[in-house]
Structure formats: structure tokens, C-alpha cells
Structure 1
Amino acid sequence: MTTPQDPGSRPSQEQEPYATPAPPPPNEQPAGHQAGGYQPGPDESSGHQPAVGQAGGYQPAVGQSGGYRPAPYPSAPEPTPGAPRPTAPREVRVSFWLWLVAALLLAVPSLIALAVVLKDPQAVVDLAKQAGNTQGLTDEQLRAALVGFQIFFSAASVVIAALMVFFAIKARAARPWARTWLNVVGVAALLLTMLGFTLVSLLVVLAVAGAIVLLYLPASREFFEAAKRVG
């Protein structure tokens, strides 16, 4: 005979349909999370940048470039007024003496020739006739042409020689601009010697060429660069 079951009781073998799951062990992390905090998503870890109009990440301001900016070029060193000027090297000193020699060879012979022409112009006319360079000119015309040419040549020689001496002194005193002007004066002297090329003119050409070359040797360049820094 069976005993009727109590409607308020449940069989011991029946489990509750909605049982609470057991907590995970202490060393186990929940699914979907990694140790060490937040991990970036696939778009962030792959270096993907958000499209225009999307939020996220630093956006450069208008007018700014977001890439690499090169460092500015270093500015030239400021001159230091009052500092002592550098001592002229041997190359600059030798160049100075060559300029003096060229100036003397240019000015002195031309002044001597001018004195001879002015003292006895007829003798010069006779020499020109013997050389056959009269070109059908009369004695008066030839005399005037020779005297005028010698006056011009002597005056130009003296002016160029004086400029040579002046700029050579300034170059030896560490004035960089004087070196540039010596180039100009040297070219003018070479052109002047072409009007009457003689042995003396050849010596002038050699002296000027050597003086200019010496001013651009490495020691001379360092000397003038140091002078620029002094100001």
C-alpha cells in the first residue's frame, strides 16, 4: 500500500532548474578578459586611425602638420665685438708683401715714363716713327696722342697701386671685405698691363696672381672666418 505524498514536499533527487553557477577559481580570469588590465581592440592594436569625422585619438589643429618636423637650421654665430682680432698667418703676410711689390712695379715705371715723355716728347715721337706706328699722323698729332696716353696710363697705375696698398693693409688687419676688393683691384691691374706689355708688366702679373692665390689658401680662409666671428 502506498503512502500518499505530501504535496508541499519535493523529491530529494530533483534539482532546481535555475541553479546559481559556482564562482571561478581564484587564479582563473573570466572569459573575454586578459590579465594586466584593458587590452586594445583589433582596430587600436593594428595602428588603424579613425576616419575623418570620427572621434578618437589626437587630431592636429588646422594649419599644423601631423608628421615629423625637421629641426631648424642652426643660425650663424653672433659676432663678439671687443674680442681681439686673430693674428695674420704667414700666407697673408707674404700676400701683403706681394701686393706692395706689385704696386711699386706698377706705379714707379709708369711715373718714370711720364717724366721722360713730358721732358722730351719729340724724342718719343721719333721712336714711334722708327717703330712704324705713326699710322699717318703728323708730329703734332702723334705727340699729343703719346703724351695723353702716358698721362692716362700713369694716373691709372698710381690709383690702382694706391688701392693695392690700402686694401692689402686692411686684409692683413683681418678685414674680410678687403680681400674681395683686392680681387677687383688685381683684375684692374692685369687689364692695365695689357695696354703696354713689358718685362715689368710680366712681373706685375706674377706678383698679383701669387698674392690672390695666397689669400685663398686654407690658413688664410680660417683667418678671415675667425675675423668675421670677431666682428
Structure 2
Amino acid sequence: MSTPDETDDATPREAPVMPTAEEAAAAGQARTDAPRVVRVSFWLWIAAGVIGLVGAVLFLVLRDEWADIQARSSPGRSVAEMRGLAAGLSWWLLAGSVMFLAFFVLVGYNARRGVRKARTLLLVLGVFAALFEYSLGRVTIYGLISALLIIVAAGLLYAPPARRFFAGDER
């Protein structure tokens, strides 16, 4: 009599077999490699997020100079008031830039895998990120470059090769 801990060694066990790429694709478990436009778009999303983050870090470092310039250009505001505004604004911009970079990486990765919802979500995130770059009059060269990269990356996700890549997705 065998105990529950013992196994019957008489039956041979087969090693698990991984499906081939064709079998996995037919079963919907895996997608083929993304087309070049989708891969380029992914890296443009990452670059846009990094450039936006660089701009936010530079604003954090140079916020006192920005406050001094703003205080001189608007006579009704004091330097202390503008420095307080710059301190709050710099942390808000830094947190937002980190958040957008994280979203671009996570959602961009899913779009690169072929998830159609991720492509749509990236378009919505891109609109909000471009608006974020221009919020409160913060138009800098970093914001302009980041917004341009966002527009190009979103456009590439809707190019004909990308549309064919996302067409078969049912998720």
C-alpha cells in the first residue's frame, strides 16, 4: 500500500513541451515582433518622458532664478511670493513628469506587445502630457521637444503597418 506522499514510479512523466512560435501565435498566447514603426514609437515615448523629466529637474534646480525673473517682470508680485509659487510648481512638475514617464514605459510596453487598448491609452496620455507640458505657461525647449516627440510617437502608432499589427488584437 502506498502513502499519499509516495508517487507511482511506474508511469513515466513527460517533460513539459513549449509550443512553437506558430502554435503560440495561433493560440493567441504570443504575438510576432512588432513592426518597426511600433518599436520606434515605443522609444519615442520613452524619449519624450525622459526629456520632460529633464526639463522638470532643471526647473527644480533653477526655480529661484525663475522666481526672480518673474518678480521683476510683474511689478505687483514680490520675490518671496514668486519663490513660494516656484517651489510648489517645481515639485508638481517633477511629480507629473515622473508619472508620465512611468505611464509611457508601462503602456508603451503593452502597445509594443500588440495590445490595442494600450495604443488608445497612449493617445489619451499623449494629449494630457502635451497639455501638461504647456500648463501654467511653462513653455521651454524641453517641453517643445517632448511634445513634438509625443505627437510623432502617437502618429506612428496609427501608421498603416501599425494598424495592421493592432488589427488582429481582440484583448
**1:145 paired to 2:85:** yes
Deviation per CA, 1:20-51, whole angstroms, max 9, x where unpaired? xxxxxxxxxxxxxxxxxxxxxxxxxxxxxxxx
CA contact 1:125–1:143 (8 Å) conserved in 2: yes
**1:225 paired to 2:171:** no
Q: Which among 60, 71, 75 is matched to residue 114 of structure 1?
A: 60
Q: 1:186 offset after TM fit, Å?
A: 0.3
Mapping 1:67-216, distance limit 5 Å: 81-117=27-63, 121=64, 123-130=65-72, 132-133=73-74, 135-195=75-135, 196-216=138-158
Deviation per CA, 1:104-128, whole angstroms, max 9, x where unpaired? 11112202321343xxx4x443232
Higher Cα Rg: structure 1 or 2? 1
Q: How many residues align?
A: 145
Opposite residue 155 of structure 2, the aligned amino acid is: V
CA contact 2:71–2:82 (8 Å) conserved in 1: no
Give the match's secondary structure for 2:30: coil
Opposite residue 91 of structure 2, the aligned amino acid is: I
CA contact 2:71–2:77 (8 Å) conserved in 1: no
Normalising to structure 2: TM-score of the pair?
A: 0.76
Q: Which residue of 2 aligns with 1:29?
A: none
Give the match's secondary structure for 2:169: helix
Q: 1:81 offset after TM fit, Å?
A: 4.2
Normalising to structure 1: TM-score of the pair?
A: 0.57
CA contact 1:86–1:223 (8 Å) conserved in 2: no
CA contact 1:86–1:226 (8 Å) conserved in 2: no
Q: 1:192 offset after TM fit, Å?
A: 1.1
Q: 1:140 offset after TM fit, Å?
A: 2.7
Opposite residue 46 of structure 2, the aligned amino acid is: L
CA contact 2:71–2:79 (8 Å) conserved in 1: no
Opposite residue 115 of structure 1, the aligned amino acid is: V
Deviation per CA, 1:126-183, whole angstroms, max 9, x where unpaired? 23233x13x5233332221111111112211211121111111110011111101101
Distance 1:103 1:111 in 2: 12
Q: 1:201 offset after TM fit, Å?
A: 1.4
Greater helix proportion: 2
Q: 1:82 offset after TM fit, Å?
A: 4.5
Q: 1:187 offset after TM fit, Å?
A: 0.4
Range with greater deviation from structure 2 (93-102 or 82-91)? 82-91
- When the two chains are superposed, the root-mean-square deviation of aligned CA atoms in Å is 2.0
Q: Which residue of 2 aligns with 1:73?
A: none
